[in-house]
Amino acid sequence: MSYNNCLTYSGLLFFLFVLIAPVNGLSAQCDPNNEVESWYAWARDLENQAVDYFEFSVAEENHIGDSLHLLMKGQNKITNVHKDKKKLENMLKSIAQYAERPGINYQVHIIQDGMTLNAFSIAGGHVYVTTRLLEYVESDDELAFIIGHEIAHVDKKHALRKAAKGVVGKNYGGEYGVLAANIENFVTQPFGQIDEYEADRHGAKLAVRAGYDPRRAFDFFERMGEGEQFDLVQKVLRTHPYSHERHNCLDTYMRETLGK
Average pLDDT over residues 201-220: 94
Query: What percent of the chain has pLDDT above 90?
Result: 49
Most confident of 13-22, 48-57, 205-214: 205-214
Indicate if the pLDDT at residue 136 is higher than 90: yes
pTM of this structure = 0.78
Q: For the residues of 36-87, what is the DSSP string, one character each?
A: HHHHHHHHHHHHHHHHHTS---HHHHHHHHHHHHHHHHHHS-EES--TTHHH
Cα separation, 149 vs 73, whole angstroms: 22
Q: What is the pLDDT of residue 122?
A: 94
pLDDT in the model for residue 227: 78
Q: Averaged over 154-176, what is the pLDDT?
A: 72
Whether residue 231 has pLDDT greater than 80: no
Say what percent of the chain tops pLDDT 70: 68
The pLDDT value recorded for residue 180 is 41
175: pLDDT strictly greater than 70: no
Q: What are the distances in angstroms from CA 110 to CA 97, 113, 223? A: 21, 9, 22
**Given this model, what pLDDT does residue 113 score?**
96
What does the pLDDT read at residue 25? 37
Residue scoring higher pLDDT (147 or 240) = 147
Cα–Cα distance, 244 to 240 (Å, whole number): 11
